[in-house]
Amino acid sequence: MEKLNISRLKEIVGEKNVKDDPADLYIYGTDASVHQAMPWAVVRPENAGQVQEIMRYANSEKIPVIPRGSGSGMCGQTVPVNGGIILDMKRMNKILEINLEDVYCRVEPGVIDDDLNKALKPYNVFFPPTPASSIIATIGGEIANNASGVRSVKYGAARDSLLGVKLVLASGDMISFGTTTRVEASGYQIERIIAGSEGTLGVIVEATLKFVPLPTIRCLGMTNFNKLEEAGDSISEIMASGCTPSMLELVDNVAIKAINNALKLNLPDVDAILIFEADGMVKEAVDFEITKIKDICETHGGFGTELSFDEKERERIYTGRKKLFPSLSKYKELMPSTSLADDMTVPYSKMAETTRKIHEIAKQNNIIMSAYGHCGSGCMHTKILMDTTKSESWKAAEKAVAQIYEYVNSVGGTTSAEHGIGISKAPAFKIEKAASLELMRGIKKAFDPNNILNPGKLQDASDDWLNATKLRYTVSDKCE
């Protein structure tokens, strides 16, 4: 802290773009996770040149720098475990080029996902990763987290839409990686490891992204199941059937209850609901696919199916799933919803078993957990609902999280589907990737020899997430 020269930072970005009062630092010291740690300053650059100057200064003084978009990460990726400078990239929010002929766009990292899609819409194209947080998520944050969303089952995650990046390294040097062409076999594709690097390898100052045609026809369906296993079998068969659903979502009974509590939607009190969508340009093709998916569900015991091509009806059917996350917070009074073990991936055949396992583990540890998610991508979301003012709740959550990841590992799943690793998932990530941690440390060292970019994350994160930082929501949590 003592070594930080605030005046130098103000010289680079201007007085009003450096913040160091405790209230701002407190806000910037957290994200959508359970973690909190105080940064030393927040700096808001306007262009790549300023980012280069900040990095040169920080590197010379070995000051940590944590790139940040909107801070909507759910596992503490932007929480400054070693203090340092939060580099708020939201002022760099220009869409630089929309190239229809070569089907790509170039954007600054602070562009918000929804704003990019608004700009693309008049051309009947879209940028598809679209996380549920698209109203706030920046393109830089989406790339660095390798974010994905409900339609990623068909269109892929952020990495799949990424053609190239311009990166400012820890040294302050700037390098462009990638191409504007569709395929590339010209050696290492460095841009692909920048996706998912969580701000540890460089600061993204520009991204080249591909976009795809907006489908003109969408049909959404919803089917109920009395047994989770029936929904699980349907998921496996749909994904093996040759269908390419543009959405396939699972909602479990805890989530259904939460939705009904919060939104009074009167969804049936069943074990599971599957929501599915087919899209395309030809009605007959979409019809064929949605009927096939519906038939598979019904063969496995699905009932009460609703289907609609109509936009308003589709919105109505999807309301519960769309508002599920905030609904979970209202499940029970004094039981906030915490993002812990929140987005593992498992093979399709293990979806139902995973959901049951989550409920079993929750019961054993006396906490409430929901299970829902983008099951077409194998992504299972959970939230832990607990009394966060009690230390025994945290201890129970810690145990549940460890048990869940042990199970996920045992069935060949992976720690994170889309929310990233940050702090809270680092212990599980380090167990899962044990064989490649040293290689990852070598890559990190090549990009950032002084370890100043988001230090203490991924392979270098603490093995004890519960004590790695202060925890939000606890009664003892005070603003320092």
Binding site for ligand FAD (CB under 6 A): 31-32, 66-74, 77-78, 89, 109, 131-133, 137-138, 140-142, 144-145, 147-149, 198-199, 203-204, 325, 418-419, 454
Choose between 132 and 411: whose C-beta lies nearer to ligand FAD. Answer: 132
277's enclosing H/E stretch is: strand 272-280
Cα(119)–Cα(35) distance, integer angstroms: 34
Choose between 308 and 454: whose C-beta lies nearer to ligand FAD. Answer: 454
The string of DSSP codes covering 41-85 is: EEE--SSHHHHHHHHHHHHHHT--EEEESS---SSSTT--TT--E
Least distance (Å) from ligand FAD to the CB of residue 177?
Answer: 13
Choose between 53 and 198: whose C-beta lies nearer to ligand FAD. Answer: 198
Least distance (Å) from ligand FAD to the CB of residue 395?
Answer: 25
Least distance (Å) from ligand FAD to the CB of residue 428?
Answer: 17
Mapped onto helix, strand or coil, the DSSP state of residue 221 is: strand
Choose between 70 and 246: whose C-beta lies nearer to ligand FAD. Answer: 70
Four-CA torsion 423, 424, 425, 430, nearest 10 degrees: 60
Contact indicator for 273, 224 with CB cutoff of 8 Å: yes
Choose between 72 and 223: whose C-beta lies nearer to ligand FAD. Answer: 72
Least distance (Å) from ligand FAD to the CB of residue 448?
Answer: 12
Choose between 73 and 455: whose C-beta lies nearer to ligand FAD. Answer: 73
Least distance (Å) from ligand FAD to the CB of residue 131?
Answer: 3
Mapped onto helix, strand or coil, the DSSP state of residue 473 is: coil
Instruction: Kindly give, in sequence order, each residue whose CB lies less than 8 Å from that of residue 173, ignoring residues fewer than 6 positions away.
Output: 52
Helices (H), 300-436: 311-322, 324-328, 351-364, 391-410, 426-432
C-alpha separations of 435 from 198, 418, 429, 440 in Å: 20, 22, 11, 10
Least distance (Å) from ligand FAD to the CB of residue 227?
Answer: 27
Least distance (Å) from ligand FAD to the CB of residue 285?
Answer: 27
β-pairing verdict for 203-210 and 272-280: unpaired
C-alpha separations of 63 from 31, 42, 442, 445 in Å: 21, 13, 20, 16
Choose between 134 and 224: whose C-beta lies nearer to ligand FAD. Answer: 134
Choose between 109 and 302: whose C-beta lies nearer to ligand FAD. Answer: 109
Token pair belonging to 218: 């969408």
Instruction: Kindly give, in sequence order, each residue whose CB lies less than 8 Å from that of residue 284, ignoring residues fewer than 6 positions away.
Output: none
Least distance (Å) from ligand FAD to the CB of residue 214?
Answer: 19
Place of tokens 């009167």: 266
Choose between 77 and 338: whose C-beta lies nearer to ligand FAD. Answer: 77
Least distance (Å) from ligand FAD to the CB of residue 34?
Answer: 12
Cα(134)–Cα(30) distance, integer angstroms: 19
Choose between 166 and 257: whose C-beta lies nearer to ligand FAD. Answer: 166
Instruction: Kindly give, in sequence order, each residue whose CB lies less than 8 Å from that of residue 261, ignoring residues fewer than 6 positions away.
Output: 327, 330, 331
Least distance (Å) from ligand FAD to the CB of residue 98?
Answer: 20
Cα(13)–Cα(8) distance, integer angstroms: 9
